[in-house]
Each structure stands twice: as C-alpha cells, then as structure tokens.
Structure 1
Amino acid sequence: MKKLLLIFIAAGMLASCGKDFLETAPKDRKTIEAFYKTPKDAFEALVAAYSMLNVDGYGNIWLSSTIASDEAFGGGGNADNGWLQWDKSIPRNDLNAEAWNKYYTAIYRCNIFLQNIGSVDFKNDTATRDRYIGEAKFLRAYYYFDLARMFGNVPLITKPLQPGDYYIPQATPDSVYTQIATDLKEAIALLPATQFSAIPSGEYGRATKWAAEALLGRVFLYYTGYYGKQSIGAVTSKADALSAVEDVINNSGHGLVSKFNNLFRASATTNEYAGQNNQEGVFTIQYTYLGLGDQNQQNGNRVQVMIGIRSQVLGPYYKGWGAATVNPKLYDAYAPGDTRRSASIISIDAEGYSSQYVVGDQAQNTNFFIKKYTPVNDKKPEDLGGNFQWDNYDNYVAIRFADVLLMGAELQLGTNNAKAQQYLDQVRDRAFQDQLHRVVLTSKDQIMTERRFELALEGQRYWDLLRQGVSVAKAAIDNPSTDAAFNISFRSETKGLFAIPETQINLSNGTLVQNTGW
C-alpha cells in the first residue's frame, strides 16, 4: 500500500533535488548527465516529483482553502495568526510562501524529468516510457492547477530555467490553463487504463488515465466558471470534459463505498473502514508514518495534526492543534437523516464530550471540529514508532468518485437530464441510505448544494463558490457577528485570489506584480 512512499525514503538522493543538485557535482551525488541512463533512474526522478504532494503544513491548499471558505474558521491557538489571516483575508508577509515554494519546486522536478527522459534507454519498453511521461505531465498539471487557483497570475515555466532566465513575468490565466489542459490530454493518451481492481497494491497513488480525465473535468468546470469562458482555449471543450468524466464513470472500475462514514478512519464503525486505498479514490495522495519522527522526510500527513482537537484526547479522537474549527452553519445545514453530517464533523455536544472538553487556548472555538481525516487514538504514530507532529498517515483522497459523479451531473444537465439525475441519485441514496430523499434535478444550484454536503471540509468548497461568481462567494463566506473573532467579511476586491508571497515579489526584480487587494 505504501510502497511508493517507501521509495521516497530510499531515493533520498533525488528527493532533495533542486537547482543546486542539478548544477553541481558533490561526491555523494550524480550529475544530471550521469543520472538519466536507466529506467530505474527515471523512476527515482519521477518519485521525486510525486514526493512534493506530501509537503504539507501551511503549504497545503486543502487546509488554506477550507479556512478561507464558509466551512471553517481559522482556529488553532490564540497566538496562531496564520490561520486567522486566511480566515479573514488579512495581509500578512509571506503567508503563502510555503505553497509557492512547494509548487514551483514540484514543477521544476517535473520539467527536469520531461527534459531528460529522452536520455534513458528503455530497451524498447515504450509502454513504461510513455507511462512515466504521462505521470509527469499529470503531476505538472496538478501542481499548476493548484497554483493558478490560489494565485491567478503566475509564471508559466515548462522547462528548467537557465542562468539569466530567472526573472519570468506572470502569464495570463488563459495561457496557464491551456497548458494544464494540454498536459492532461497528453497524459490521458499515455497513462494506462487499468481498472481499479487490477491495480497492484504497490502502485496505489500513481496517476492513471482515470485520474487525468477526472482532473480535466475539474479544471474545465473551474476555469470556465471562474473566468466566464465556454472552453479552455482551443484545447478542451465542454464535450471533451464530459467525455472524460463519462469515461471515468463507466470504465474505470471506481465506484462509491456503500456507506459514507466508512470512507474515513475517524468515522467508520469497527471493522467497516473501507481502507486507505478504496475504490472511491480516483487519485489518492499517499502518506506514511515511516519518517519515524524525522520532519525532514515530509512523508506524514501534516494537516491531520493541525485539525485535531486542540491538545486533548476525546474518545476515539487523538490530539492536534485545533485548526479549522467548523462553522456551526455547516453542521446545521444538513438535512435530518443525512449520514454525512456525523461522518464529516465532530460535535462536542452531540457526541457527549461536553463535560470532558476543555477549551483552553483554542481560538475561535465552535465546539465543532473536522472529523474527516482527524487523528484517531488507534494505531497512532507513537504506537508505530513515529511522532504525532510529523507522522500521521491517513491518505488524502484528492479526487473521489462521488465528486466525479457530481461533475458528471453538472456537465450532463441540459444535455442528458436523465443521466444527470441518475448521478445525483447515487450520491444522495448513499448519503441517506435509502431512495426516499431523492430530489428532482432542475438546476445547477441543486448540484452545488449537494457538493457542499458531500465534499464538505475536503478542500473543494472555496473553489466551488468562486466558480459561481465572486458575489456568490461573498454571500456565503460573510459571517456578520458581534463577536469580533467570528466577524468575517469576504474582500471582493481580491477576487478570491491569495496573496503572492512578498519575498518572491522582492526577488523578482519587478517582474511579479501583487494580486489586487493585497
């Protein structure tokens, strides 16, 4: 299950590669010219590109966008200003530096790989070569999509930079999204169409044709919604996006887990947890405890410790830092009988912990915490030789099959309403564990509402709001309150974009311009 991550640790030579590694020749490392020779070399370089998925903490788009949405507040300790800044869109020097560095390091590794893969002797094994190239293109698209959503106007770099070329101006979003779509379509043509049931356990977490197709659907819906376009340039039309999503639904072998709560270790009943790599994960980021307390390994799920109940163990839940306290409005919005509420959100009161829970220095306390992915007090990192700060190991499902169904419903609406209805019904039937809660699908708003409950606290809500329009985002995120801690006002002038790190602007020799509102 974690074989790919074990290679991350074994391939330390490449896991820390960067410009210095590629332009110097220390005795314990190979030069770029000496390295790309064998398929093993290529695989290690590809693993180095994958490994950036695990770089978490303040650089994780899932956490920062959840806090920026209407789902959660900043939380954390009273002295933890960073999360509060995301919550209230308050300028803070270098707040997003970790994300910027993470993604450009990742893109650099993809570019180095793609530039040099032609030097590898695959001995006529074109299938392996094509797969590796497809994976690298998928990863570059994945990283650029996160960058483009967060910052809007970013430098577009598709090859390793040479001395003198470091001051790259920001590209237009149209150019960046065209590159993302191009990479994904090329990846779709190269990646294996292996059904989920046939994927070897040691290959979980690797990109497949289905992951690339699902991501293309997500990219299309966000770009066309946020920017008011009909297509992604001449590269991807609505018909292309629909065809890709339909292929995942009909041919991938992925499907819904029978009960929603079994998707997450913290909410599953005894012996019913579907597992770290179940059929619903179309693209699943792999984590492991095998860093064993070494924070430099960056193989653990850092978001888990950040969202855990602050500094205390309650029932099955293990301790954490208390970030992203859940907005009571989300908890209250679920309909009676919807199993997703108790599987998604810890309610201190409803779960009977009121007499045990100590608020302490918890900021923006709501008595609600994220249950999905929260640390649990069973086989915790310490029990396995690790450290709870660095070595939480629950995988993050970046693209779930339920999301693909809802994308399919959205793309089919107005084209094939019967199919759109069918996809929505599948999601709601599971949520309520019956067919009595179906609704007649007539509008996109119903699908967006379903996405709110199905994908709650998984890092999708903020982007779903923005692609419906800045005014829609503001109406949802604004939280007028007499309590200053909870008084939130979405700043429309930012258009929902995050601040480009000031250090990057200062280093850019005037080529980077800060986003409006920051």
Structure 2
Amino acid sequence: MKAIKICTLAVLLLSLGACKKSFLDTEPITTVTDVNFYKTPKDAYTALVGCYDGLQVVWSEGIALPVAAEVMSDNAFGGAGNSDGFNYQMIDEFDKARSPSDQNLYERNWILYYKALYRCNMLISKMDQIEWGNNATLRNSYESEARFLRAYLLFDMVRLWGNIPLLTEPSAENLPQSNPDEVYKVIAGDLKFAADNMPATGYAAQPVGERGRVTKYAAEALLGRVFLFYTGYYAKGDLVGLVSKNEALTYMEDVISNGGYGLVEDFAKLWPAASVGDYAGEDNKETVFAIKYTYTSDYNGNTDGNHWMVMVSMREQAIFPYGNGWGGQTVSPKLWNAYSATDTRKSASIISIVDEKLPFTNQGKTREYTGYWGKKYSVMIGEDGKPLPESFGNPNFQIAQFQDYVSIRYADVLLMAAELGSANAQSYFDMVRQRAYKDAFTPLPVTPDNIMKERRLELALEGIRYYDLLRQGVDKAAQQIAETTTVLNGGAPTQKSIVAANVIATKGLQQIPYTQINLSNGTLVQNPGW
C-alpha cells in the first residue's frame, strides 16, 4: 500500500516533500471471514483499505489499461522489443491474426478486476450488519468510497470488454454477460450515491495523509467522464435515465466552484521526468483522483508498485533522467506534430531523442521505433545511474516504480464542463490553453472540435485519448486511428499499417480471455472481431 517516500535521492528528484505515512499504509486483512468480521467501523475501515488495494493491483499483471488505451489510440504504437511476440501489435491493430496464440492477453486483468470487485461488493453488502452507532456520516462516507471504487472498476471493464457479467453481490456464480445498460445503471447509481453522500470537503481542507482517498468531487468528476463516454459511444441523450446533461454539468460546476482545485502553474511540474527537482508533488492541487503506488513491491506477494511504467519507457537503455524500460507504447510522430512549437506541453509530454540530443543507440532491439517515447510516466534514474527504487534498497526496478497514476486532473474537469455547455465554457477552455502557451497564448473559440483537439494535447499519454475518440463514434474513431507509416523494426525501415475495418469489426472492444469463456462452459460469448 502507499507510503510517502523516504527522504533520499528520489525525494530530491521528485520533490515529494515531507516523509509522512498516508491512509493506504494499513494492509488489508485477508484471513478473516464474513462471519467473524464486518462488525465494527474499524473492521469496515480495514475492508475499505482492501478495496483500494484491489484497485491498486488490477494492472500489476497482464495489460495495463493506461498503456492499452494509448496503444489503441492514434497517439502511440505497440512498440516493445524487436524479438518479442506481437501481442502489443495485436492490440494496436485490432487484429487477432497478428498474434493468434495470444488468446488470453487480458486473463490476469479479468481475474484481478473481479477480485477487486468482490472486495467492494462484500463491504457494501455488510454495511447493515456493522455497528455504526450514531455515526451515519462515517457509514455514508465508507459506503460512498466503496461504491466509487466499484463504479471505477466496472467502468474500466465495460469500456474494455463491452459485455461483462455484472456482479453486485460477493458471488462466484457463473453469470451470463449483462447488457451494458445494466452495468451503467450500477455505475451511475454508485457515483450519484457517492457524490450525494460524501462530505463536501474541499481539496485544501483534506489532511495531507488522507489524500488519495475518494472525495465527493472525485465522484462528480468521474460521473462527467462516464456521462460523456456513454452518451457518445451509445448515442444516447442521457446516462441510462439517471443523469441528464444538465445534471452532469452541475456536478462539474460543483467541482470547479467548491472543490478547492486549481491548475499547477507550469504544466511540466505535473510530471516527475519533465521537471527533475521541481516536481509539484503527488496530490498537488490539480489531482482529483489518483491510484496510489509505492516502492515496496517484491516477488513474494507484496504488490504495491506501479508495474506498468517500465513497459512504456525507453527500450533497454537509460539516459538521465530517463530510466530503462521495455519500449512499449512508442509515440506516434502524429502526436508530436500535433503540438505547436509554442505549446509547453509538447516537451513536457514526450521524450524526443533528436530534440533532446539523447544518445539513444538501442534501435536494433526496438520494434516500431519512432524516436519518441512518453515522458509523463517514464521511469527515472538518479545522476548515479541507478533506478530510483534502488535508493530505497529495492533492486526490483521492474515492479517497484512508485509514481501515482493521476486518473482525473482538474484540467480534464474544466474541459468536460466546457464540452457540456457551461456558461463559462470559454473561460474554462482558455484557462487550460493559457497555462500551456503562456505568453504565446492566442484565443480560440470554444467549439466541439477545438475542445476535442485540446483534450488530446492536454491529456496525451494519460489513458484518455482512445475513449475520447471512441465516444465520437466507432467509424469516426477508426478513421482517425487508421494509418500507414514507416517505423524502424530492429533498426530497419518497416511499413506499419492500422486498418479502420478492424477497429469497426471489433466495435473498439478488446477480446475476452478465451480461458474464461471455456471455464464458463459457453456462458460467456466472445466479442465480435476476436
């Protein structure tokens, strides 16, 4: 679980501030049963920490959604090693023929999502048997947090696989897939409950050690994201009859007016690798919700680190401050070229080998090399050349990366509010762009096309772009994603093709693990195109 870092070299690089413990230091109890547990608020708290822990580990194995979502988009290619299998190319190109043996690419994710869901369902189902006394506020807060986490998990799952068995009770029953509307009813209901039942504690009023927990404003912000995706992808006027467009906007305006958030003045300071020694720090005023990680992961069952960062970092070569990784998610030149020269987000978001004059020499081991890598979640090394986790005595750099995944930023909320038709839409849109361009800022009208372009530039490589494309319609997304270009495979120029028809055939969804279909005795049905 999360522990704020020891004050050593990594703190100097990441500027994490005071060495304090946080809410997520408490390990969940896993040996008790529902018969002898779930009696006191303390039991509920421990179980709640277990729910957060469940979310923390869903991407510790298999394919991490923040990685897959960028690879599926027009921002990045599959990349990885030139002698590796072609599983990331299968994701990138929506083409099962690229790696026919990879029938269970998301197997571990499927299992870990349902394990995390089980924890949330168990706690929610036990609320009435816990002895709360007169503390209804505490009960509502704990239930709200658990329901937010359940909604978060379900939203990931339904976007990734489309048709999933919906479990809202702690059960291992072999259920058929639900209509997505039924899943979205649970998501919307959970988020509305959380938004309406949590204390209106502003960001600045949160105790430092409590940051990382769900807030009323995180629930409202996620509701906006769910509303926009559901109504776009499914071409509906509201969110399953539970949230209208005006209601979604009201939630966004509440985050903006009362949440106490703000934009970090310098975009680069949001990202450790873009602002060495000048990082704004975890849980800065722009963080609405983040998944917390720490450096204590090992191969003996402690799963606390950000396991997926190593996948998106430079292939098997470290150049200060960037660390050694496996070279997945090579950034498309289309993304680099989408930024103007005066946009400060360009160099803060993307590592450019040429522009930064980096002596990268490992093209021969890299597939789909473009000369660009993601910077926002790049692993890092110290000036001594050692991976940052080694500063804390952990040699397992592959699994011990500890940068939090900032799932929802305040800039995203501003842009969602503008898209939903706020009376302040132009002002919100300008705030995001003024931060990006500084003295070079020139106004643009706040139109749907301009908002979507701005979302790409602002939120690039954060796992947002693909679903922004998909909610514009599968056909339109497919045309945007499709391209034929030249990349370097093992140092040799190679044609790379992504075909729109494949995206359309799959409806933008990924394959359900075939092992799970077999275990279900045919109750589960594979998604089209896979």
TM-score where L is the length of structure 1: 0.92
Partner of 1:228: 235
Q: Is the 8 A contact 1:308 1:370 kept in 2?
A: yes
Counterpart of 1:194 (choices 198, 201, 221) is 201
User: What corresponds to 1:45 in structure 2?
Assistant: 47
Select between 490-499 and 4-13 the one with higher mean Cα deviation: 4-13
Go from structure 1 to structure 2 and tell me whether the alpha carbon gap of 1:143 and 1:277 turns closer, same or farther (over 3 Å shift). Answer: same
**Among 415, 426, 445, the residue aligned to 2:431:** 426
Quick one: distance in 1 between partners of 2:473 and 2:161?
17
- What is the match of residue 528 of structure 2? 516
State the alpha-carbon separation in 2 of the partners of residues 73 and 221 from structure 1. 26
Offset of residue 362 of structure 1: 1.0
Distance 1:63 1:274 in 2: 24
* Amino acid across the alignment from 1:377: I
Aligned to 2:258: 251
1:209 is aligned, of 216, 219, 222, to 216
In the alignment, which residue of structure 2 is the partner of 1:74?
78
Q: Is the 8 A contact 1:2 1:202 kept in 2?
A: no
* CA apart distance, 1:316: 1.0
The equivalent residue for 2:117 is: 107
Give the match's secondary structure for 1:480. Answer: strand
Alignment of 1:471-490 (within 5 A): 471-481=475-485, 486-490=496-500
Cα separation, partners in 2 of 1:80 and 1:438, compared to 1, 3 Å? farther
* 1:142 corresponds to: 152
Q: Is the 8 A contact 1:150 1:497 kept in 2?
A: yes
Deviation digits for residues 194-221 of structure 1 (CA, Å, limit 9, x no counterpart): 1111111211111000000000000000
Moved more, 51-60 or 241-250: 51-60
Q: Residue 2 of structure 1 aligns to which amino acid in structure 2?
A: A
The Cα shift of 1:40 comes to 1.7
Which residue of 2 is the match for residue 464 of structure 1? 468
In the alignment, is residue 407 of structure 1 matched against residue 416 of structure 2?
yes
Q: State whether structure 2 residue 278 is matched by structure 1 residue 275.
A: no
The question of 1:260 aligning with 2:267 is answered yes
Change (3 A) 1:133 1:115: same
Amino acid at match of 2:525: V
Conservation of the 8 A alpha-carbon contact between 1:59 and 1:102: no
1:152 aligns with 2:162: yes
SS at match of 1:487: strand
Q: Do the aligned partners of residues 233 and 35 (structure 1) sit closer, same or farther apart at CA in structure 2, a change above 3 Å counting?
A: same
Unmatched segments (≥5 aa) in structure 2: 5-19, 97-101, 487-492
Q: Is the 8 A contact 1:5 1:288 kept in 2?
A: no
Where 2:273 maps in the other structure, the secondary structure is: coil
Going from structure 1 to structure 2, the CA distance change for 1:81 and 1:12 (only over 3 Å counts) comes to farther
Q: Distance in 2 between matches of 1:192 and 1:60?
A: 32
Larger CA deviation: 302-311 vs 462-471: 302-311
- Report the CA distance shift for 1:296/1:331 in structure 2 as closer, same or farther (over 3 A): same
Distance 1:200 1:365 in 2: 44
> Does the Cα contact within 8 Å between 1:364 and 1:485 map onto a contact in 2?
no
1:364 aligns with 2:376: no
| Aligned-partner Cα distance in 2 for 1:73–1:470 | 19
Aligned residues: 493
Amino acid at match of 2:289: F
In structure 2, C-alpha distance between the alignment counterparts of 1:356 and 1:254, rounded to whole Å: 39
Percent of paired sites with the same residue: 46
| Cα distance in 1 between the residues matched to 2:482 and 2:21 | 40
Q: Relative to 1, partners in 2 of residues 1:70 and 1:356: Cα closer, same or farther, differing over 3 Å?
A: closer
- 1:455 maps to which residue? 459
1:350-389 deviation digits (Å, cap 9, x = unpaired)? 0011x44322311111111000010111370011111211
Alignment check: 8 A CA contact 2:21 2:209 kept: no
In structure 1, stretches of 5+ residues that fail to align are: 15-28
Which secondary structure state, in structure 2, belongs to the residue aligned with residue 74 of structure 1? strand
Of the three residues 375, 378, 382, the one matched with 2:390 is: 382
Q: CA deviation at 1:10?
A: 4.9
Q: Contact 2:44–2:130 at 8 Å: present in 1 too?
A: yes
**1:498 maps to 2:502:** no
Which ranges of 4 or more aligned residues in structure 1 deviate by more than 6 Å?
3-7
